[in-house]
Structure 1
Amino acid sequence: MDWNEFLEYSISFTYGDLFPTMRYSDNKPYRKQVYTKQEIISVIEEFGFPQDWNRLGDKGLERYIEVQIWNEEIIKRYIL
């Protein structure tokens, strides 16, 4: 899916898996946050891509950036 297919309000992101990111408290500034397209760009600029700095075996909940898609019309284009 192309990033540009999504309007700002039709997609959201968490820096790490949604459920542990929203539940875990360790005072990292990106915890308990859901981001828009523009906001996640700023988070990536500040902290980098988690898959680059948090390899398997390292400590941390951040293995990837999770995407939540809120537009079924876009999703339907990709269903076989």
Structure 2
Amino acid sequence: MNPSWIAINIDEFEESAISFTYGDLFPTMRYQDNKPYRRQVYTKQEIIKVIEEFEMPQEWNRNGDKGPERYIEVQVWDDAVIQRYLP
């Protein structure tokens, strides 16, 4: 199997079909350093506010030496949109 990726506009998903973590889900939920975005799962509207406040993690954590935040992870709970992109 060859790895690949697709880019899908966030607006294609229903609000209830996706959730986000500011960083990888597992370290984000495990770290206990009292950062306000830790141990949280966000809706689309909530993650936009988090990004406005803290910026994209890849902007301030390029080398990974400040924490586990390297990207924003999305959890997709309905694959109907994704199915339209599959061969």
* TM range, smaller chain: over 0.9
Q: Which residue of 2 aligns with 1:6?
A: 13
| Alignment-derived partner of residue 74 in structure 2 | 67
Distance 1:50 1:59 in 2: 10
The alignment's C-alpha RMSD in Å is 1.0
C-alpha deviations, 1:8-55, integer Å up to 9, x for none?
111100000000101111000000000000000110011000000001
Q: What is the TM-score with the length of structure 2 in the denominator? A: 0.87
Using the aligned pairs only, state the percent identity: 71
Bigger share in helix: 1
Unpaired stretches in structure 2, ≥5 consecutive residues? 1-7
Query: What TM-score, normalized to structure 1?
Result: 0.94
